[in-house]
Structure 1
Amino acid sequence: MDAKDMGEDLEKVLVTEEEIKTRLREMAAEIDAAYAGKDLLLVGVLKGAVMVMADLARELHHPAETDWMAVSSYGAGTTSSGVVRILKDLDADIKDRNVLIVEDVIDSGLTLSWLVGNLKSRGPASVEICTMVRKPLAFSVDLDVKYIGFDLPNEFIIGYGLDYAEKYRNLPFIGTLAPHVYQD
């Protein structure tokens, strides 16, 4: 799927496919340097991080294991309930491991802050965060994000793992939807 396939549903492209690829190579080089001689477990947060994690892992020149978690603070609604639930937990034991959480986007940071605390309680050697997109104006907690692809404005974005109603994750770029798509 690309911009032509979206027709009038695409409002604008914010980050191109080439910009994403370039930034992923840069972040992978930073991660390779930081974890040289250390084990590394990439923990992707489902579903959005699938694209980021797959492409990032392929850019690494450092062996890395992968695992997945799914967490939710939304339930069936569209606003956070404030209660985080683990929908899919890690398969791996992270005690004494170097964990790098891989995210697609960080908005408020509330759910991710809870996840970091949960993982740290399991006794890892380290827990760091890598995200393709951070929306600094939406942050409502103090969260140390070590690797950031792009800082974007606080608007609803789709593509490269980010969805609207489970659609558009497979776009190779990050963009915004035209209002007619989501307004009644």
Structure 2
Amino acid sequence: MRSIQLGDKTFELSITSTEIQKAIYRMADEMDRDLKDKNPLMICILNGSFMFAADVMKKFTTPCQVSFVKLASYQGTQTTGQVKELIGLTEDIVGRTVVLLEDIVDTGVTIDNLVKQLNGMGPREVKVATLLFKPDACKRDVTLDYVGLSIPNEFIVGYGLDYNGYGRNLPDIYSLVK
């Protein structure tokens, strides 16, 4: 599909599933090299990262554990600037290597807040793996250890990303038509 309609918005194809999978293979290889012998705890940030995390985990061969946190910072097509924790972490991370699996880093507010929270819990290190990064939208000084693709500052849906809850199931990524 070259374009889709979600509610009152039209979106055009931006990143194909083939491009997404190619980026994930590269990232998983980098993570395997860096994280072997570190017993990492992979933390999927829900809701948007569920597809990304699942695909990374299929390609990541290093023994690890997986957990989930649920955060929210978007309403419609705009970030609220507030990070709302809906479901929290239950694992003990003291002395562990923690890898956050995030679908997208745009303003950096969510990932910055979460990294600071986790660092206060005594991990050995916290690393960030994001499928998508919007450098032009980033307002925080965040360290991203693994980046799949850098993209323009456009509102996107698909591959876990949504518009008012719709579009997460799409295998490709689409940009909002202005």
Contact persistence 2:74–2:80 (CA under 8 A): yes
Aligned residue for 1:172?
A: 171
Change (3 A) 1:4 1:142: closer
Aligned residue for 2:70?
A: 70
Q: Residues 120-159 of structure 1: matches in 2 within 5 Å? A: 120-159=119-158
TM-score by length of 2: 0.90
Cα deviation for residue 175 of structure 1 reads: 1.2
Contact persistence 1:134–1:148 (CA under 8 A): yes
Aligned residue for 1:6?
A: 4
Contact persistence 2:154–2:176 (CA under 8 A): no
What is the Cα-based RMSD across aligned positions, in Å? 2.3
C-alpha separation between the residues in 2 aligned to 1:50 and 1:121?
A: 25
Question: Any idea what the Cα deviations from partners look like across 1:150-169, whole Å, max 9, x if unmatched?
Answer: 11000100011100010101
Question: Any idea what the Cα deviations from partners look like across 1:124-160, whole Å, max 9, x if unmatched?
Answer: 0110100011000000010010100111000100011
C-alpha separation between the residues in 1 aligned to 2:77 and 2:173?
A: 24
% identity of equivalent residues = 34
SS of the aligned residue for 2:80 comes to: coil
Bigger mean CA offset, 121-130 vs 87-96: 87-96
Contact persistence 1:75–1:81 (CA under 8 A): no
Aligned residue for 1:24?
A: 24
Contact persistence 1:12–1:175 (CA under 8 A): yes
Aligned residue for 2:54?
A: 54
Higher helix share: 1
C-alpha separation between the residues in 2 aligned to 1:109 and 1:103?
A: 11
